[in-house]
Amino acid sequence: MQRLTQSLFQKFSTLVYQEAGIHLHDGKKSLLEARLAKRLRATGIATPRQYLDFILSEAGRDEYVKFFDAVSTNLTYFFREPKHFEFLEKIALPEIVERNRKNGTFRIRIWSAGCSTGEEPYSIAMTVLAFLGGGSRWDFRLLATDISTRVLQTAMAGIYEKTKLANVPAALRQRFFEPIRDGASPKSYRVCNELKEIIAFRRLNLMDPFPFSGPFDVIFCRNVMIYFDKKTQESLIQKMSAYLHEGGYFFVGHSESLTGLRHPLKYIKPAVYKKI
């Protein structure tokens, strides 16, 4: 693939920023070149300039989505940043259950924004179901969204290599995963239907209007805003907070902070905020 000119890099980075809020600074030029090279090989298009023209045309609408699949980075694993799940189990869920019961509702709604290949929402769902216990009367549903159709396909399939389950406690692994037998020892596992049935996986660009009304008791938006500039971060946190129930919790990644941003949330502890 021919090298990206600075002018063309700016055109791609402006497109990515306007469409997805992701800030591709000059240090990301080589990354973009590598991702573009894969898409050029897949499509047979000769040059980055022709590729840009194609994805902006009516004929290139499907490839437009695949381009954003390629430039969005997805790194995740089960029970990543475990202190969040400890907090969810020991602090947030007891509060939510007590509050909702007092209000006469047995409904719990959680949103995993930027869910990637599904490990985060499945980890959340396992934590909640284990907390509620068997035969629960609670109506629990979880929305899991991502801009990438590629990772959503993996999430919906719910099949993971054995090594991916290393951080899943044995009791949860036994309850929520079915081994896929291929020889003497299973090399991969399938998420059980009990878990799949409560999660709705949907494609969502966080820069677009949200096609739901909420409110959510908990929102996980971890390791997503690190790709945005401060202006976009502030706009997004205000937008998402409007969909959070009063008294609800908002989780960001431990490498992220809302310091210096205007928002209606109260700091509780590192990477945990609450709508008061």
Residue 161: C-alpha distances to residues 118, 123, 130, 190, 271 (Å): 13, 16, 23, 9, 29
208 is catalytic: no
Residue 76: C-alpha distances to residues 23, 46, 114, 151 (Å): 20, 33, 10, 11
HSE of 237, CA atoms in CB hemisphere, 13 A: 29
Which ranges of 103-229 does DSSP label H, i.e. alpha helix?
A: 119-132, 149-157, 170-176, 193-196
Token pair 């590598």 in the structure block, residue: 34
Sign of CA dihedral 95, 168, 255, 221: negative
Beta bridge mates, 144: 112, 201
d(CA 269, CA 210): 28
146 is catalytic: yes
The SS3 call for residue 238 is helix
Residue 6: C-alpha distances to residues 25, 32, 229 (Å): 11, 12, 20
The SS3 call for residue 71 is helix
Active-site choice (69, 80, 109, 146): 146
Active-site choice (35, 39, 80, 109): 35
DSSP letter string, 83-125? HHHHHIIIIIHHHHHHHHHHTT--EEEEEEES-TTTHHHHHHH
Looking at the annotation, which residues are catalytic?
Answer: 35, 146
